[in-house]
Structure 1
Amino acid sequence: MKPKSQVKNKIEGKKIIECPNGTVPILRNTKEYVARAQYWEKKHFNPHTVGSHGTHYAGVKSQGDGPYHGLAAYMSVHDLNISRDQTSYASIFVGSGDNKKINFIQTGWMVNPSLFGDGRTWSFGVWKGANGTGCYNTICPGFVQVSKTDLLSAPFPYPHKGQERAVYASIVQEKDVGNWWVTDVRYDRPDVHIGYWPKELFDLIGNSVDMVGVAGAVQASPSGISPPMGNGQLPSEDENKSAHVKGVQIVHSDFTYSKKLKLEKLLDDNKCYGLKDGKKQFFKESNLFTYGGPGGNSCGI
């Protein structure tokens, strides 16, 4: 793990170069990286079975008014100091489940020193499909990288002074084909379509999903100590000082985007983490909710 100052200087000195035509960037998979990813995939927050050991979460979901075909959300991005046996992340998710099967897709940001080999904040994608298959990023066959510049999983660049660090991402099903696309939503320039998960990977979400949402989540170390979530602070009266989510839009059964939301709150631990509604009107692009907390050794299991 390199000191953040060294990492920052190294990143700022590099220019983004497009891959040649006919090629895309793919993160190199070492044996160690694959093994670590398989370990963490089993512990990953699953919105359908939220009671997994050592997992805590804070967010919102919509279920029961579907079918849905995706969602988009703006998530503030933060650096966190956590140990190598912990992980902390925030993501949007889509999925369906029954008593025997679960399919879901998630994308967002993550700090996981064990998985990525450093303490930086990375973008990520994870999926669970037919017959229990699935994995992180491009570690196993599944995700199809399309963008020549934007990776599904890469370290987040450091923001310019005075700018907020954030990601505005969407997971949306392609209407005619059925594949699930992940996109970087941009305010001032064209969106970047990173790639897609083919519908053939799944046996429950080939046509739609019954749940969509966005949440922060953590996985405690085996010793029971939970890491910080969000920006490591409980939501405060000053929303700009809290980890926050806004701009949530849901893609409904007719493939139209809607900001009219019926959302259920998700919070399993109010001792170490918090979840608060934003003060301002959501339709004015203010915060939908703030979340996060310091974690610790008394957060439960």
Structure 2
Amino acid sequence: MANNVQIFIGKIFCIFQKAIVLTGGYNYAGIKGDMRVYQPFVEFDDEYSTTRLSLISGPWYDFECVQAGWAVNPRTYGDRETRLFAYWTADASNRTGCFDMTCPGFVQTSHEIALGAVLSPISVIKGLPWQMNLFIFKDPKTNNLWIRYEERINIGYWPPELFGSLCHGAAAAEWGGEVFSSKLERAPHTGTHMGNGRFPDWAMGNSGYFKRMRILDISLNLKLPDWMMSYQDEYWCYRSDYVSDYIVDPEFYFGGPGRNDMCP
């Protein structure tokens, strides 16, 4: 099982950095979780920061993936607001895939919630912990991959024709944060934040987090994963902390400031 997982946590391009918790080795029909919503600092217009959940299938060099969460993405949206987003690719982002509906693929069905919408309110340090719940799941009749918002609104779906194996089930599921930049793994490192720019803070909850993490198995049972593993690309820049001891429902904390004294 461990060998299967490595194909998903290996770095695809040096311009992406992750701090995630993942599970793999089975066939997953969905992924769900509560994520805290922030407005992180994004240093340059060609960078972005996201908090998202993902379903993935295929080898690292040619994987299929769907994601949903929130993002600060100046290039896509023209501002630094925190927005609801979705992303897909069928070939490791080599030739296919895009955010929201900036290319053909995702089918919007909801008239209440739109991809790309500004999210409000936003969590602030020592303030109320605003969060949202998202659920990506496969319709067993059509094989459409749906996004559900806050337990009740089906935003829309990716049709199965976009994918090869993913529409029949994913081999891995991920929760966590991601930063995109050309200024990673070298000095000067980007100062773009992940989460709210703080390293994981499980004691006070003042960092990026996921709670109530669930997978939908191929028998359509919504449950805790059988096992989970945390991972980060650059420990001194962005970190991850999976907390499972002495609590009934595991929690995942992540984030970081990017450039700092230990990440020059």
Shorter-chain TM range is 0.7 to 0.9
Q: 1:26 is matched with which residue?
A: none
Q: Which one has the bigger helix percentage?
A: 1
One-letter amino acid of the counterpart of residue 243, structure 2: G
Q: 2:204 is matched with which residue?
A: 239
Q: 1:121 to 1:98 in 2, by over 3 A?
A: same
Q: 1:102 is matched with which residue?
A: 63
Q: 1:58 to 1:179 in 2, by over 3 A?
A: same
**Cα distance in 2 between the residues matched to 1:82 and 1:274:** 17
Q: 1:172 is matched with which residue?
A: 137
Q: What's the CA shift for 1:52?
A: 1.2
Q: Please show how residues 20-169 of structure 1 align to structure 2 within 5 Å.
A: 47=8, 49-64=10-25, 66-83=26-43, 84-98=45-59, 101-129=62-90, 132-159=95-122, 163-169=128-134
Q: Indicate the SS of the match to 1:275.
A: strand
TM-score by length of 2: 0.85
Q: 1:53 to 1:76 in 2, by over 3 A?
A: same
Q: What's the CA shift for 1:163?
A: 3.6
Q: 1:253 is matched with which residue?
A: 218
One-letter amino acid of the counterpart of residue 273, structure 1: Y
Q: What's the CA shift for 1:239?
A: 3.1
TM-score by length of 1: 0.75
Q: 2:241 is matched with which residue?
A: 276
Q: 1:124 to 1:237 in 2, by over 3 A?
A: closer
Q: 1:279 to 1:172 in 2, by over 3 A?
A: closer
**Cα distance in 2 between the residues matched to 1:110 and 1:57:** 14
Q: Deviations over 1:219-262 (max 9, x none)?
A: 23446424111110112353322221111010112111112431
Q: 1:230 is matched with which residue?
A: 195
Q: Give the fraction of aligned pairs with identical amino acids, expressed as a percent.
A: 27
2:159 counterpart (198, 209, 216) = 198
Greater Cα radius of gyration, structure 1 or 2: 1
Q: What's the CA shift for 1:277?
A: 2.7
Q: Indicate the SS of the match to 2:167.
A: coil
Mind listing any 5+ residue stretches in structure 1 that lack a counterpart? Answer: 1-45
Q: 1:22 is matched with which residue?
A: none
> Contact 2:42 / 2:193 at 8 angstroms: preserved in 1?
yes
One-letter amino acid of the counterpart of residue 133, structure 2: Y
Q: Indicate the SS of the match to 2:14.
A: coil
